[in-house]
Amino acid sequence: MSRLWRAAVCLVLGLACTARGGASRPREFAGERAFGYLSQQMQFGPRIPGTPGHERTGDWILAHLRATADTVAVQGFTHVTRRGATLHLRNFFARFRPAATDRVLMLAHWDTRPRADQSANLGQQRLPVPGANDGASGVALLLGLADVLKTKPPAVGVDLLFVDGEDYGNFATDSNDVLIGSRYFAGHTRRCSPCCSTWSRTRTSSSTTKATRRRSRRKWWTGCGGSPPTWATAEFSCPA
């Protein structure tokens, strides 16, 4: 098992080990509190892109991450479906120890499916999926993990990614409208490298003015296909 995989398993399960192979005390994962995060999402209702429940849930996840992670970036983007609907989507990317070179990425989708079209119950097939397990449980786990990582910083860098628009379309017949957030993240993160290094150089020079740094950050972010961040999150996707 590689060092990174061992670290991932340890973090998720709270086992008594570290990324460097030594034993340590187990991390405390507050299961009941994490279950509360699941319940909260259910109270928001279905998290279908374009609905109030979706909007409120996204804001709530973002607030939690801003209160726990070292850096948080929002990747806002639009997606036009095969049927011509425009979806306004957000990926949330939270980082712990963003400068660490050894990193673990864990992700979950936070949207829910518009129709329970795979239900064995015909009456349910036109209804939204409530998403207790398919959506809320993964988010609750990662938010609980964020709590743990805030309390005790990890031995390696940890990235938590909450992707949007994953369960929207038809997985069987058309890949255009499914896994939207993951594909957007993967595609746009790779393209960030050249402009990212420009930003890093500017950021580290003590002689640059605040305005110069702001322009650089805007240029970097726009070059990556997203909107400029409104707070200091330019570490997003930068190599250490």
Residues of this chain that interact with Zn ion (CB under 5 A) are 134, 167
* For Zn ion, the closer CB: 102 or 134: 134
Smallest gap from Cβ 109 to Zn ion, in A, equals: 6
Q: Which two tokens stand for residue 165?
A: 């628009």
- Separation CA 202–CA 95 (nearest Å): 21
Angle in degrees, 0-180, between the axes of helices 138-151 and 52-68, rounded to the nearest 10: 20
Q: In the complex, what is the shortest distance from the CB of residue 119 to Zn ion, in angstroms, rounded to a whole number?
A: 14
Task: Give me the least distance between CB of 132 and Zn ion, in Å please.
Answer: 12
C-beta of 131: minimal distance to Zn ion in Å?
Answer: 8
Cα separation, 234 vs 229, whole angstroms: 7
11 sits in which H/E element: helix 3-13
Identify which of residues 135 and 144 has a Cβ nearer to Zn ion in the complex. 135
Composition of the chain by helix, strand, coil, percent to 5: 40, 15, 45
Considering the complex, state which of residue 118 and residue 227 has its C-beta at the smaller distance from Zn ion. Answer: 118
In the complex with Zn ion, the residue whose CB is nearer, 149 or 163, is 163
* Minimum distance of Zn ion from residue 129's CB (angstroms): 8
Write the DSSP string, 120-170: SSGGGTTSPP--IIIIIIHHHHHHHHHHHHHHS--SSEEEEEEE-SSSSS-
The smaller minimum CB distance to Zn ion, of residues 70 and 134, is found at: 134
